[in-house]
Amino acid sequence: MDCPTGKVVHTLKTAKAASKRARRRTDKALAPYRCTVCGQWHVGQASGLKRPIKTIYDNHQLRFS
């Protein structure tokens, strides 16, 4: 199954192995993660965000009284 994002799809086992290989080649920490788009495993680095981005919901009704 291909990912619509164009990333390489792994099983958990191959993602762990790929992250180990990548750690030897680069100084950045790479780790397996499950994709929110396709549900498969990919290897990548942390986004660097300290906290999640706040979601603003616009489906609430304003009450004027």
pLDDT by residue, tens only, the chain of 65 residues: 688 888 889 999 999 998 888 888 877 778 888 888 888 999 988 666 566 667 777 776 767 76
Task: Write down the domain spans for the chain.
Answer: 12-63
- Residue 40 is classified by DSSP as S
State the pLDDT at residue 13. Answer: 92
Euclidean distance between CA atoms 39 and 33, whole angstroms: 10
Q: Could you tell me the pTM of the whole model?
A: 0.61
Dihedral of alpha carbons 25, 27, 28, 30, sign = positive
